[in-house]
Amino acid sequence: MSTFPSEYNPSGDTQTGKFSPSDIFYKYLAHIHYFIISIALCVLAGIIYLRYTTPKYESTMQVLLKNSNDNKITGRQGDLVSIAMYGNSDININNEIEKLKSEKTFIKMIEKNKFNIYYFNQGKIKISNLHNLVPFEVIPVNIADSNKRYTIKFTGNDKEGFYLMKGSDKSNKKTRWNELFEIGGSVFKIVLKPNREEPSNDVYIVTWVSPAERTRELLSQISIRQKDNISTILRISIINENASLGRAILDAMASEFNNASIEYKNANAENTISFINNRLDSLTKEILDLENSFKLQNDENSYLSIDQQSAMFFGKLGESETKIEALELNNELASLVFDYVQNPKTRNKIVPSTLGLSDNTLGTMIAAYNDLQMQREKEAPNLPADGLLMKQLNNQIDEVRASILESINLLKTSITKQKGDILSKNSLYKEYLSQVPEKQKLQAELLRQRQVKENLYLYLLQKREETAIATASTSASYEQLNAASSAKKQVEPDADKIKLFSFLIGLLIPIGIIYVKDQLNDRVMLRDQILNETNLPIIGEVGHVDNNKSLVVAHKSRSIISEQFRIIRSNINILSETKNVKTILVTSTVSGEGKSFVSINMAAVLALAGKKVALLEFDLRRPKILSNLGIQKTGIGISNYLLGMNSESEICTRFEAFPNLDIYPSGIVPPNPAELMLSKNNEKLFDYLKANYDYIIIDSAPVGLVSDTLSLTKFVDMSLYIVRHRYTFKRQLSFIKDLKTEGKLPNLNIVVNDLRIGARYGYYGYGNSKGYGYGYGYYYGYGAKAQGKGRSNEYFDIEMPNVFKKWRSKISRFFNRQN
């Protein structure tokens, strides 16, 4: 970026180029008249709103939530029946608040107090809620559709009756008090209240709505919250147009909920007693069933206890085991005898008598067997072995042996049978003994159930008596600590807030409009937009000219426009130190951006410096220089030269006001300007001009519309691209950047034209004393304005009072210190 003096940063931040707070402040302050009008209108609207809006007042009361532990019916925490029927008795504030918003109870309260009937008085501007301050009462006789809202409007009231109204039309027939009349299919009547003053001749409006709809309206108006986190006191408030109505609703609400609480507790008491009676009947039957079970169990056990029967069967089982052991022993002995007697080795020997067989018959046989054996042993030495006596004796021994063996077999069979009978009985004994734990468990369970049910029976008898006694002294769960009261000051609308909001809205509306307008603006407004989009140096800025003069530079002129062109001249001289700048091309994107204006004054300011300058009107399609300067056209110019019709001296026009400035007009308008510029005579023309002039200023055609200008770039040392403030589109800046990137225009620089400085026009910073550029506005002013007396009012485009100038200066210094 170039370091020319005019390219200072308006915010004082050389890195970011953001606006300073003072820039933003002055941007909006420039439209101060819009702010004054907007604030005045909004504040006036707020005052009108406060004047004609019906005020609302807040009515409040405090209600104590009694701990249910104090309730003799449901409040004994830990009580079996209470917990079973009503749950835990601790207070849950949120639950209680929701209970107080019960629609069922509200509907009942509204029906009882007729809060679903509104009474209004129609004034000239607004309608007032009268509540019970009317000398009459509307009674609905038959409502055809409870979901509809019915409105009764009447006037002309006296002792005899009233006139019903439909809109603003009054009925011709007077309706008498207590006389039935129909509205929308429903039947009503209006009766006079006793001992009240005579009705006025005002217009009254009475509206009937369903209790359910009225309930929803009241619930939206009522606020219930806990007074603090420790107490169980609730603060209940309602915001209503009529303070008396608000107090009446709160008092009725407290009364209705107290009654509902008592009814609920009485119903609970009745339910409790009914539950206890039913349970007592059931317990009586259960206790009788348990007694029958005990009786049956005793009958099954033959009136012996389970322990006694268990001991008896354990004894029998022991006896059986002893018998089995004895039988098994006899069986073993019998087997030994059988084997001994039958064994050939011991056939002729005496059977031992010490074996202890319990069978007497077998013992007798064994004794006879032993006698025969002893006799044979005694006679054997004396008798021959095959003798008759010996044979008889052996035969007797064999017969006794056979009898012994047969008896042993019979004994063993008898033992086996006896053992089986004993084992069968033992199985029965063991089976009974295995059932003893279950019987003992069943008996213990029966005893426990009987004890529990007997205790529960006694407890329920006591509870029934307590509940019956407590029913006579039931108290409500809620206690209204104070009668409902209303604040004298209205809560809606809040006058202070309305006025503040009106002021803020009046302030924000123009801010929003200005901001949206800026966002929707697609024209070049800011210096940073040009620098960021093109990345090209701004060689100078030219302000707005109110009188549409084309030539604003004059000899010894100290105007701000003249100084601006002198700055451009100085910047060109700086560039000339590093690179010879002689031919300067002035172009733009489209027509109307001020090419001819800048070209004329650039040529003039260079001529004033004593330089010989040639001003070329190379916009062959739409030439403007001669007409803008008021010079009569001769019809001879550059196009004639390019066609070979005239010489250099013949196409030159002298400008008497500037002796060092020669103008070369365009001449005749050719049919083919682009092709004509490619003529070899063009090179001759520039060779001649460079030889005879210090500077050559080319006013070319718009480069964004035609290609004529690009044909001249080979003769150009510097290109000045005109960007017109509030005229050039932002999207056209990218076209300038492309020209630089592609190198189509040599040594490209930007001149901002038709610049209106200050917040109103968005081109911030110009006019700031921190740099050059429009800083001359501080010292030279405009035209006839006094020099050195502060800023001109170009900044605001209005004549500012001195007090504004004073505060503006203070604010500006404050923001500058912050920066």
Dump the DSSP string for 592-610.
Answer: TSSHHHHHHHHHHHHHHTT
Q: Rounded to whole angstroms, how far apart are CA atoms 646 and 148?
A: 98
Integer-rounded Cα radius of gyration of the chain: 64
The percentage of the chain sitting over the pLDDT mark of 70, rounded to a whole number, equals 80
CA–CA separation, 452 vs 314, rounded Å?
A: 34
Judge whether residue 18 has pLDDT over 60: no
Per-residue pLDDT, 678: 87
DSSP letters spanning 481-536: -S--EE-SS--BS-HHHHHHHHHHHHHHHHHHHHHHHHHH--B---HHHHHHHH--
Report pLDDT for 200.
77
Q: Within the chain, how many helices (H) and strands (E) appear?
A: 21, 22
Distance, in Å, from the CA atom of 593 to the CA atom of 751, rounded to the nearest integer, reads 11
Predicted local distance difference test score (pLDDT) of residue 616 = 92
pTM of structure: 0.53
The predicted pLDDT at position 544 comes to 84
Give mean pLDDT, residues 316-327: 74
Residue-wise DSSP of 658-712: -TTEEEE---S--S-HHHHTTSHHHHHHHHHHHHH-SEEEEE---TTT-STGGGG
Give the model's pLDDT for residue 792: 35
User: Over the stretch 606-655, which tens digit does the pLDDT of each residue have?
Assistant: 999 889 999 999 888 888 888 888 888 888 898 899 888 888 888 898 88
- How far apart are alpha carbons 400 and 137 in whole angstroms? 137
Beta-carbon contacts of 388 under 8 Å, excluding residues fewer than 6 positions away, are none
> What's the confidence (pLDDT) of residue 308?
61
Mean pLDDT on 752-770:
58
Mapping DSSP onto H, E and C, the string for 434-478 reads HHHHHHHHHHHHHHHHHHHHHHHHHHHHHHHHHHHHHHCCCCCCE
CATH fold for the domain made of 523-756: Rossmann fold (3.40.50)
- pLDDT of 432 > 60? The answer is yes
Q: Which of 250-264, 342-356, 473-487, 642-656 has the lowest mean pLDDT?
A: 342-356
- The C-alpha torsion from 274 through 280 and 283 to 288, rounded to 10°, is -140
Is the confidence at residue 496, as pLDDT, over 90? no
DSSP string, 137-150: EEEEEE-S-TTS-E
pLDDT at 100 over 90: no
179 and 220 Cβ atoms separated by less than 8 Å: no
Average pLDDT of the residues in 595-607: 90
Identify which has the larger pLDDT, 446 or 238.
Answer: 238
Q: Which of 270-274, 446-450, 539-543, 738-742 has the lowest mean pLDDT?
A: 446-450
Give the pLDDT mean for 578-606: 89
Q: At what angle do helices 211-221 and 103-113 cross, to 10 degrees?
A: 110
pLDDT digits (tens, 9 = 90+) for 552-562: 887 666 778 88
The amino acid present at 745, given as its one-letter code, is L
- Total Cβ atoms within 10 A of residue 368: 15
- pLDDT surpassing 70 at residue 373: yes
Q: Is the dihedral of CA 590, 594, 599, 600 positive or negative?
A: positive
In the chain, what are the domain boundaries? 31-53+493-519, 61-250, 306-471, 523-756
* Site of tokens 């079973």: 84
Question: Residue with structure tokens 């063991």?
Answer: 430
Q: Is the peptide bond before 493 cis (omega within 30 degrees of 0)?
A: yes
Give the pLDDT confidence of 279-314 residue by residue, as tens digits. Answer: 788 878 877 877 777 666 665 555 456 566 666 666
